[in-house]
């Protein structure tokens, strides 16, 4: 918590320390096919960065690299100035396929507790923390249910709660709302923004949905496909808190949308 004072507002993000830094990163899979090429960008602490691109642009590969699940073939991926070599509890990832990412034999509470069993060995203490997180994600009424008994939106909430329980420095989200219906998606978008703002958690959010990228992000990086490269980076200076109706009707929002839409169509 001592770090809180050094973390700047997202609004004054340019002055905040750099959390993640990619330096001319490229990833090539075994067959020699390049997936990502010459990717360089920084993510500042507390920033909400959206990455958007067509399928096959290597978005997921990029996120897995940030998580430490794979290493760049060339270039450097740094977290706190140190090369990312392996997964760490400081970098939590929320997968799109929540059904596969949850433990089906554990209840909602049990799934959230999984991340805490190591760091909070005292059960009473851990249970209290789990209950708090479950409540935070609006799952209290379902705490003792199994994932197969929940809707997609609720399962994704469980996964987010599990990630929060890690108290990560950075949240990596891989199209987390891609499989949800429109209503649920909007609700979760707003909850996620509120959480990120409240905790000042650095967030990298992958999506193929342009509007979602603009609506959530302080900044949007657009990737082009085959191989994935940075096509453009835009700053989103829309005021926060954002609102599903007014923000999406804001002329600046629409301008970004037009611009990025044209950019993605061009490829």
Partner 1 sequence: MKRLLNLLPPLAFAGALLLIWHVATDLRLVSPVFLPTPARAFGDLAARFADGTIWEPLGATVQRMIFGWFFASLVGIALGAAIGLTPLARDLLEPTLEFVRPLPASAMIPVAILFFGLSENMAVSVIAFGSIWPVLMSSIYGFGAVRVRLQEVSALLGLSRVEFLSKIAIPSAMPDILAGMRSGLAVSLILAVVTEMQASLPGLGRDIFLAQRSFRSGELYAGLVMLGLLGVLINHGLQIAENRLLRWRPQRS
87 is a site residue for partner 1 (CB under 8 A): yes
Binding flags for partner 1, 93-132, as an x/- string (CB under 8 A): x-x-x--xx-xxxx-------xx-xx--------------
| Residue whose CB is less far from partner 1, 119 or 246 | 119
Nearer to partner 1, 1 or 86 (CB): 86
Nearer to partner 1 by Cβ, of 65 and 230: the residue is 65
DSSP secondary structure letter of residue 18: E
Residue 261 interacts with partner 1 (CB under 8 A)?
no
Is 186 near partner 1 (CB under 8 A)? no
User: Do 27 and 36 contact (CB within 8 A), yes or no?
Assistant: yes
DSSP label at residue 143: T
For the record, the structure tokens of 248 come out as 């999406």
Task: Give the Cα separation of 3 and 192 in Å (integer).
Answer: 21
> What is each CA distance from 179 to 97, 220, 267, in whole angstroms?
8, 21, 25
The contact pattern for partner 1, residues 141-160, with x = CB under 8 A and - = no contact, is: -----x-xx-----------
**Could you give the maximum distance between any two Cα atoms of the chain, in Å?**
56
Minimum gap (Å) between residue 97 Cβ and partner 1: 7
Map the footprint of partner 1 across residues 53-82, applying CB under 8 A: 67-69
- Residue among 108 and 220 whose Cβ is closer to partner 1: 108
Residues ≥6 apart with Cβ < 8 Å to 213: 50, 51, 52, 205, 207, 220, 260
Name beta bridge partners: 219. Answer: 49, 235
- Contact residues: partner 1, CB under 8 A: 67-69, 86-89, 91-93, 95, 97, 100-101, 103-106, 114-115, 117-118, 146, 148-149, 166
């Amino acid at each position: 918590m001592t770090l809180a004072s050094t973390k700047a507002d997202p609004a004054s993000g340019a002055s905040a320390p750099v959390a993640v830094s990619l330096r001319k990163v490229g990833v090539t899979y075994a067959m020699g096919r390049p997936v990502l090429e010459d990717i360089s960008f920084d993510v500042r602490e507390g920033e909400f960065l959206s990455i958007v691109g067509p399928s096959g642009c290597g978005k997921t590969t990029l996120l897995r690299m940030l998580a430490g699940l794979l290493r760049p073939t060339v270039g450097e991926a740094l977290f706190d100035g140190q090369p990312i070599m392996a997964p760490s509890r400081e970098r939590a990832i929320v997968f799109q396929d929540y059904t596969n990412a949850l433990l089906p034999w554990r209840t909602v509470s049990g799934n959230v507790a999984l991340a805490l069993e190591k760091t909070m060995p005292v059960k009473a203490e851990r249970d209290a923390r789990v209950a708090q997180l479950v409540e935070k994600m609006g799952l209290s009424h379902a705490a003792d249910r199994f994932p197969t008994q929940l809707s997609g939106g609720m399962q994704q909430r469980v996964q987010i709660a599990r990630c929060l329980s890690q108290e990560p420095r950075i949240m990596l989200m891989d199209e987390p709302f891609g499989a949800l219906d429109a209503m649920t998606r909007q609700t979760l978008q707003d909850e996620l923004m509120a959480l990120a703002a409240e905790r000042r958690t650095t967030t990298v959010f992958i999506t193929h949905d342009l509007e979602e990228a603009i609506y959530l992000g302080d900044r949007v990086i657009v990737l082009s496909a085959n191989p994935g490269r940075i096509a453009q980076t835009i700053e989103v200076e829309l005021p926060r808190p954002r609102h599903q109706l007014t923000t999406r009707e804001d002329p600046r929002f629409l301008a970004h949308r037009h611009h990025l839409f044209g950019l993605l169509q061009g490829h």
